[in-house]
Amino acid sequence: PGEQLAHDPSKKTIVVLGSGWAATSLLKKLDTEYYNVVVISPHNYFLFTPLLPSVSVGTLEARSVIQPTRYITRHKTRRVEVYEGEAKSVDVKNKTVTFEDNSDIKGAVSTTTIPYDYLIYAVGAENQTFGIKGIREHACFLKELPDAEKLRTRLMDCVETAAFKGQAPSEIDRLMHIIVVGGGPTGVEFAGELHDFLVDDLHSWYPELANHLHISLIEALPNVLPVFSKQLIQYTESTFKANKIDILTRTMVKEVREKTVLVQGENKELREIPYGLLVWAAGNTSRQITRDLMAQLPNVQNQRRGLLVDDHLRLLGADGVFALGDCTATLYAPTAQVASQQGKYIGRVLEQMAKKEQLEATLRSLRVSPDAKPEEIEAVVKQINKVANIKPFHYSHQGSLAYIGSEKAVADLPLFNGNLATGGVATFLFWRSAYISNLLSLRNRFLVLNDWMKVKLFGRDVSRE
Ligand code: FAD
Ligand code: NAD
């Protein structure tokens, strides 16, 4: 495939923005025989986000949970163009995308504009901060791979600073107080992983700090994990209690300062809580490029939550654009499950559309051919009708899973017409096996299994990079 020309002027061009769940599952499914395919993403890899919290404390290494996009595209029948760059703007009228090399090293060309026939818009979302003061300056996030690496480094910095000679006990308490804001699955999973790191490793490597370690989870709503069933919420809250993770529910963060966070409780009273590390996991909002895209279509794109699409995932108000995953505002939750099913669906739709065009060309030539038999024409018409019948996107929910620490997980699994809610160590083993089998490649499976074994044998690495 590498030898083949990437661009065939007789074929339509699909531009894919992103290399996350939606884009990658589309690339896996897409038959590149029918189209020229161009992929643009600021990261030249796919990130398996469900295991990102494990990277932030060193249970897994960063490279174990990523897969270069070229590993996927190199197996395609025709060469796919892959560019590391950030799409800066989409012109839906002229059907072009402008993208830029935003890495440190730049060549003579670092920005360019390309045309598309079909655009697969799958840029995901960014962290929601609600404009709260101090978050960008002082908090850590847990959304992308560099976030997890930065978090791991900052965490160890707090530990080493707390262990510094002559540090006062009150300052050690502050430095070793880790606050997680957001009791959704990201915040809960991170708090669970962090607990394991503190108990399994830090207690023995830094015994002098053991009594000062403290995790708090702050959530504005009355409980954590609102999308999980009631009994699993209770199970998670009691597991956290047993693990000495404080849950502050009905508590809103109002401002993040350098060493303290300002919160407001149910009684509207404001109080300041000292911290060493604060992790912001309060959900998603649209990226700037998505907001700019909405602004081009003000009459139809009026949802702040994300892009509006029809039931075939076509962007409302634009021709030839499909929007998938977290950048959209649909009935579905912004999850990897939804994004990957949408990617697969669009891969199928594009194949059907290409087949339809091919058949229509055959029909046109048959109709002008003196030798064509009526039954031949009829057969082609039938085939066209078959491929023209493109069904709307249908989501099939496979269940929700979350790791909550101390080798326990919670799972809501659809079962016949009901739901199986389960939590504990057996669910944790199920969680591990589900993720191992969902990882994209044998290489990733091997690396993740190896990391788990390494941690079991030697513990997590506490050196600060
Ligand atoms: P993403 O996967 O975020 O991909 C977006 C892509 O677009 C990225 O490759 C990015 O680099 C690229 N991009 C960004 N800006 C641009 C630009 N300007 N131009 C071009 N490309 C761009 N969901 C689950 O179902 N189960 C889980 O267990 C789970 N765990 C999670 C754990 C964490 C820590 C997080 C943060 C999320 C988790 N999710 C989980 C949610 C899931 O990761 C998202 O719903 C999913 O990633 C959405 O897929 P997407 O393709 O829309 O976006
Ligand atoms: P989320 O939106 O699910 O949760 C964010 C939480 O932060 C909310 O409960 C909200 O009430 C709280 N919050 C917001 N502002 C606050 C404030 N100022 N003070 C205190 N609390 C505040 O976000 P998430 O956990 O990052 O998840 C994002 C998406 O990714 C969801 O769809 C989720 O299902 C998915 N996800 C799934 C998994 C999993 O299945 N294991 C793991 C991670 C993420």
Topology of the domain covering 12-125+286-351: FAD/NAD(P)-binding domain (3.50.50)
- 26 in helix, strand or coil? helix
Pocket test for ligand 1, best of 38, 41, 152 (most atoms within 8 A of CB): 41
Q: What residues contact 439, with CB distance under 8 A and at least 6 apart?
A: 48, 65, 445, 448
Q: Is the CB of 340 under 6 A from ligand 1?
A: no
397 CA to centre of ligand 2 in angstroms: 19
336 CA to centre of ligand 1 in angstroms: 7
Could you read off the pLDDT tens digit of each residue along the chain, which spans 465 residues? 445 556 899 999 999 999 999 999 999 999 999 999 999 999 999 999 999 999 999 999 999 999 999 999 998 989 999 999 999 999 999 999 999 999 999 999 999 999 999 999 999 999 999 999 999 999 999 999 999 999 999 999 999 999 999 999 999 999 999 999 999 999 999 999 999 999 999 999 999 999 999 999 999 999 999 999 999 999 999 999 999 999 999 999 999 999 999 999 999 999 999 999 999 999 999 999 999 999 999 999 999 999 999 999 999 999 999 999 999 999 999 999 999 999 999 999 999 999 999 999 999 999 999 999 999 999 999 999 999 999 999 999 999 999 999 999 999 999 887 889 999 999 999 999 999 999 989 999 999 999 999 999 999 999 988
Provide the token pair at 190: 């991170």
Nearest to 189 by CA among 426, 448, 405, 423: 405
Pocket test for ligand 2, best of 21, 275, 335 (most atoms within 8 A of CB): 335
Topology of the domain covering 135-283: FAD/NAD(P)-binding domain (3.50.50)
Provide the token pair at 100: 């830029």
Pocket test for ligand 1, best of 15, 47, 49 (most atoms within 8 A of CB): 49
Residue 273 burial (10 A CB sphere; 0-12, 13-18, 19+): middle
Read off the pLDDT of residues 115-166 as tens digits, 9 standing for 90 and up.
999 999 999 999 999 999 999 999 999 999 999 999 999 999 999 999 999 9
Q: Whose CA is nearest to atom 43 of ligand 2?
A: 186
Q: Whose CA is nearest to atom 5 of ligand 2?
A: 282
Nearest to 452 by CA among 396, 392, 403: 403
Q: Is the CB of 216 under 6 A from ligand 2?
A: no
Query: From the centroid of its chain, how far is CA 3?
Result: 33
Q: Is the CB of 402 under 6 A from ligand 2?
A: yes
DSSP alpha helix (H) spans, 30-139: 52-56, 69-73, 135-138
Q: How many CA atoms lie within 13 A of 106 on its CB side?
A: 11
Nearest to 219 by CA among 256, 189, 263: 263
Read off the pLDDT of residues 230-288 as tens digits, 9 standing for 90 and up.
999 999 999 999 999 999 999 999 999 999 999 999 999 999 999 999 999 999 999 99
Ligand 2 atom with the smallest distance to the CA of 182 is 7
| Three-point CA angle 362, 365, 371, nearest 5° | 110
* Angle subtended by helix axes 21-29 and 336-368, to nearest 10: 40
Nearest to 401 by CA among 324, 325, 336: 336
Q: Is the CB of 134 under 6 A from ligand 2?
A: no
What residue ranges of the chain are covered by domains with CATH 3.50.50.100? 12-125+286-351, 135-283
